[in-house]
Every structure is written in structure tokens, then in C-alpha cells.
Structure 1
Amino acid sequence: MWFIEKIRTTIDGITSINITTSTNEQTSTEEGTPINPLGVTTEKDLLSMDEASQMVKYPINMPSYVPLGFMFDGIYIDDPQSISTSIEIHFSTADVNDKLIVTQIPTTGATSFSHNVRGSIEEKTIAVNGSDATLIVFEDRVQMIWQYKTFVFIISGNINEEEIIKMAESII
């Protein structure tokens, strides 16, 4: 059974959200690898679904629902040499102004994510196909993080809460 611990603190106008998943009731204090779900600072080589499927050792969970106007761009594989590498499924609008990224991370143990945000955010827990998910509404995007079986999923992009929930529910 998986357990999720969520800690939110605000100090001097900076909000920090830490999410830890674990197979034990006691969560690990060991930090995981930092993840940049929007990938906005680096150029990434995107692969087709067929190419990516041949390179990873687990099924790629493509959402069956994608908000109107978004098109599949490709899949980025974080570390093709690693058996437990994470992937990012990229979508964008025709003018490429809006991006949407679904990150799929295989988990074999405790996993941690941390956000430090200056400015206002809204954070809440919702249910996605029977699993608790954390929905974070930033000023310029929304993000959802949840665990299903042996994967952590993160959806991040310029869409509204209803759309991100529909997309999340279509992944499993």
C-alpha cells in the first residue's frame, strides 16, 4: 500500500509544498531527483510514441483525453540508459503558446517532490480514479500530482482545473 504525506509551509511570502510517497507508513526523508515538469528552460529531443515505447521498459500511459486545441508533440525520455527513467509526454497548441506536459515516473520506493513558489497559489486534494491527487493552481498554470500503482504522474500546463482533472482521469 502507498502512503502520501503532504506538507505546506509559507514563510515571508514564499510557499513551499513537499509531497512524499512511500510504501511504508513512515515516509523517507531522502530527497528525490528534482523535476522540471514544464521543461521550459531547455530544448528537448522529442520521440514518437513508437520510438519511446521501444526505449522504456514499462507501458507509456497516454491520456485518451486532451483538451481542445492541443496536439501531441512527442515524448522526452529523461535518461534512456536507466531502466527506471521518467518520461514527459508533450502537447502544445498550434501557435505553441500553450504547453501541456504529462510526466510519468516509475517508482520503486519513496519519492519526493518540492515546490517553492513566490506569490499566491491554491492547493487542494482531489480524487482521481480512486487515488488522492494534489492539484496546485499557480498564477500562470495548473499542476496535478498523484500516484497510481507503481507510477507517479504529473500534469502541468495552461489549462483550467476541469480540463486537468478530465485529462488525469483518462490516463489510467
Structure 2
Amino acid sequence: MGKKVLRLFLETMLRALVIILAIGIVIMGALLIKTLVKNNSLKDSKKTTNGKEIVTEAGDENDPTFKNGDGENSGSDDSDESGSVASTDAKILVINATGTSGVAGAWKTALEGKGYTSVEVGTYTQSAIATSKVCVSGSYDGADLAAELTSPEMSTVDSVSASDCDVSIDGYDIIVIIGTSDIKN
């Protein structure tokens, strides 16, 4: 009889252990899925699809979650008095027109460090230029980007020729052409 009780006790403990492990696996799986969904949604908020920006909750002006308490939107896409929008959320193309390798990449890193969220790079295929250019479209004025450069020329995106670059210039809100006066190391 003692062996039967011991065997019954061990079988019950084994079943309890299996149930506890199963619950642990389910909980860990749920946490993993939650983490993956959260990480993918953060990445998706910065992506575009076929040139169209994916709208996220942070872009909703009517959502009080993203207000800083004084009635102003705390995001960087506020309009100033002139109606132009801050460039930090613009789709930006930085083109290296210096003839020195790595300049556009250095500017991309520097701009991302200052909060610009969508920066891509390319190379100017013509002769090097001395003075940088900031070419804007839409409601962006590019003044914040121009302030990062040494006396750049200002123009519109449609003044940039697609044949002058090694990448497509379509779909960018601002194109920054880096001249030799703005080489960053």
C-alpha cells in the first residue's frame, strides 16, 4: 500500500509540474508576441509605403496623449507662424557633392542624432560643388536644416535634376546637397 501511495503522489506531482511548465510556456509566448508586436509597430511608425507615410497615433493632433500640457503639440511637426512645418519628420535625402567619400553618411548620422527621423543618402554624379544647397517641397521651409550648414543656397526640390544623383530623388520632402564647405568628419 505504501508503494501505491508513493506512486500516486509522484504521478500527481509530475502532472502538477507539467501543468506549471505549460502555463509558463504560454506566458512566455504571450510576452514574446507582445514584445515583437511592440517592436514592429515602432519600426512601422517610421516607414513609408510607396511614398505614402504610414499614419501613427503620435501623428494625431487630437490625441491628448501627445500634448505637453500647455495646449501645444509636443511633437516636432508643429507649424510655425508662417505655416511651415519643422523638418525633423520630413523625408530627407542627403547627397554628397564634395568628391570625398563618407560625407553624406556622416551628415546622416549627425542629423539622426538631432532628431531627424527619415534620412537617406546618395552621391552627386557631377563635379564637386563648394556651396551646399537645401531644396525643399510642400510646407517645409528647411530653415532648421539650413542652420546646420555653412550659408547654403535655398531652392525647391524640383530644381534638382534626377540625372545629377546616383539614387532616385522622387518622394523626398527635402534634398540637402552637401558642398565642400560642409565636409563633416
TM class, shorter-length = under 0.3
TM-score, normalised via structure 2 length: 0.23
Greater share of helix:
2
Greater share of strand:
1
TM-score, normalised via structure 1 length: 0.24
Larger radius of gyration: 2
